Structure 1
Amino acid sequence: MKKILLSLLALLLLFPAITLADGENQEVIDEKLGVPIVVYGANLTAEQKASVQKALNVSESSTVEEITVTGEDLATYIKDGNSSARMFSSAKITRTDAGKGLVISIVTPDNITQVTNEMYANAMLTAGIENATVEVAAPSPVTGHSALVGIYKAYEATGEQLDSERTDVANEELSVATILSEESGIDQDKVSELLTEIKQQIAEQNPASREEVEQIVTEQLSTLQIELSEQDRQLLIDLMDRIRQLDIDFSQWSTQLEDLSQSIQDQIGSIVENEGFWNGVKKFFNDLVSSIRSIFN
């Protein structure tokens, strides 16, 4: 009997701790910045939407605002955008305090085929989104471009206003990044590094003419040892000259670009290290095979 009473007493003492733990796990609503906004591509089927919700960690109990992005939104945010476009890419955006920067995560990497985290971050910064956590998802392989339009719509749903000229230039930036990586054969991380470094030099030097922008582009291509066709080089210069003419406070932009640049360099460094590791593994097995062959020879 004494053992039973001690066991019951121990359970009673545990109840307050259990209640506290449950309270700690409750979702906290940010009363200043609002709840996360989830934006779904309008052409998702019910099954695809459920798949995206799972990827974005959105459940029935989640405290989020849900909206839909359509082809008409594409035409609103991007000049000459096709209002009949089919939209599948989806995203969840959570605004953060000033100074927190951009944190981008593609949660279905196999289904976003042409755009990387850094490409999204670069384009969002150009569009005027500076502090947010964004997750991108798609139920099946898509290029990922329409997710940017969804992010714009979700961001404005928080009460912010984006400049249509900047969102259009940001879309052009994403297109140029895709062309350089897909058609010119440049590694995606290298493309992101190139765009970031050029934009940072524009922020620091504040060029007054297209000629000065061209000089910056030429210097960065040389520094990063990237060779482009004349057509792609002019495409890049055209883009950067449009960025130069945007109404941007480049003094504040520079810090964001420094953070993004460091993130990209860390990513490239990690890839190089991994390649070194796997080259070592490959060498080990090649040497092992050679040793075995020598025994039988």
Structure 2
Amino acid sequence: MKRKFSLLIVLMVLTAGFISSGTALASQGDKGINEKLGLPIVVYGEALSDSQKNEVAGLLEVDKHEEIDEFTVNGRDLADYIGGNPNSNMYSSVKILHKDNGKGLNIEIVTPDQITEVTKEMYANALLTAGVENADVFVASSVKVSGHSALTGIYKAYDAKGVKLDQGRMKVASEELDVATSIAEKEGIDQAEISELLTEIKKAIAEQNPATKEEIENIVQEQLQALNIELSPEDRQRLVDLFEQMRSLNIDFNQVKNQLNDLTGKLEKLINDEGFWNNLQSSVQKFFQSLSDFISSLLK
């Protein structure tokens, strides 16, 4: 009986170790330095104090990486990249993990309670407009901020690594973020609805390939009606002017559309995949049933 009890204790320790190590591996996920894609990048807002910077580093799990490239973004960068106010205080920070071509863009706001205006869908739309693709992007702040400065931080990260993004596309992407957040606030519309509107307008532009500003106006109006969103004439015009700028930049909207479809499809596919959840539940049930049977046999 003593031997069986000892075996049981060992089994419990091993099981606990297995579960905790599995959880740690799942959360850590670091496989060392990817020599093909380069080091992870972290860009901190310059206005952060030392203690706030340390907090953000913890939120972005900087210490999970063996090596990392670190930069700081300031008001001067805001002015250089998108023509913003050089005296702006920059707080929101980002971590970027580059991925292979075709892997798509993934955005995660690590501190959603602290990023008050910009949603991950807004970031995704703006970054795709700017030409940023194939990366995992994590946004965090230790204080409540709108979240706009994170976009400039991403631009600086790419520039520092020798990847030159188009200046015109960066500026219109920043304007897209401003239009999205201001319309959501001014019109009292949910941020998710505005993100969906921008996404659907881009998809429609990819499908219809408008050649004139009037055709852009028609697309904007069609999507507003389709989503049952009412805007003031002024805000409708802001959307038309925004997408007319995008059209003049010769952005490949088909490529943007594919990325947007990929972003919106991943989660829906997982949520609707009953087989995945059933298999997961079945596997867990089988594991613990086997464990229970084994323990019972030890105690007989």
- Inter-partner Cα distance in structure 1 for 2:55 and 2:132: 27
Counterpart of 2:105?
102
SS at match of 2:87: coil
Match of 1:285 in 2: none
Question: Alignment partner for residue 52 of structure 2, among 23, 38, 48?
Answer: 48
2:109 maps to a residue whose letter is I
Q: What CA distance in whole angstroms lies between the structure 2 residues aligned with 1:65 and 1:264?
A: 30
Tell me the equivalent position of 1:30.
34
In structure 2, C-alpha distance between the alignment counterparts of 1:131 and 1:145, rounded to whole Å: 21
Q: Given the two structures, how large is their TM-score scaled by the length of structure 2?
A: 0.78
Provide the identity percentage.
56
Residue 133 of structure 1 corresponds to 136
How many Å separate the matches in 1 of 2:201 and 2:227?
11
Corresponding position: 1:191 with 2:201: no
Q: 1:160 to 1:190 in 2, by over 3 A?
A: same
For residue 63 of structure 2, give the secondary structure of its aligned residue in structure 1: coil
Higher alpha-carbon deviation: 162-171 or 27-36? 27-36
Instruction: State the AA in 1 paired with 2:53.
Output: K
Instruction: Output the CA distance in 1 between the equivalents of 2:59 and 2:248.
Output: 38
Q: Does residue 257 of structure 1 match 2:260? A: yes
* Pair 203,56 (structure 1): closer, same or farther in 2 beyond 3 Å: same
User: Equivalent residues in 2 for 1:86-235 (5 A)?
Assistant: 86-235=89-238
Q: 1:120 to 1:266 in 2, by over 3 A?
A: farther
CA distance in 1, matches of 2:191, 2:174: 17
Match of 1:136, SS state, is strand
Alpha-carbon deviation of 1:167?
Answer: 0.5
* Partner SS, residue 255 of structure 2: helix
Aligned to 1:253, what secondary structure does the other structure show? helix
Asked if 1:243 is matched to 2:246, the reply is yes
Q: CA offsets, 1:215-242, max 9 Å, x none?
A: 0001000101101111111111111111
Where structure 1 has 5 or more consecutive residues not aligned to the other structure, the ranges are 4-13, 15-20, 270-297
Q: Tell me which moved more, 56-65 or 168-177.
A: 56-65
CA pair 229-42 structure 1, distance change in 2 beyond 3 A = same
Partner residue of 2:88 out of 73, 85, 100: 85
Q: SS of the residue aligned with 1:59?
A: helix
1:192–1:264 contact (8 Å) kept in structure 2: no
Provide the residue aligned with 2:80 in structure 1: 76
Judge conservation of contact 1:27–1:63 (CA < 8 Å) in 2: no
Count of residue pairs brought into register by the alignment: 251
Distance 1:154 1:192, change over 3 A: same
Q: TM-score, normalising length from structure 1?
A: 0.78
The residue identity in structure 1 corresponding to 2:51 is E
Contact 1:119–1:177 (8 Å) recurs in 2: yes
Q: What do you get for the CA RMSD once the two structures are aligned?
A: 2.7
Ranges in structure 2 where 5+ consecutive residues have no aligned partner = 4-13, 15-21, 23-27, 273-300
Deviations 1:68-104 (A, max 9, x none): 001111011112x111111111000111111111100
SS of the residue 2:183 aligns to = helix
1:106 is aligned with what amino acid? I
Which amino acid in structure 2 is aligned with residue 259 of structure 1? D
What displacement does 1:247 show? 2.9
Contact 2:202 2:253 (8 Å CA) reproduced: no
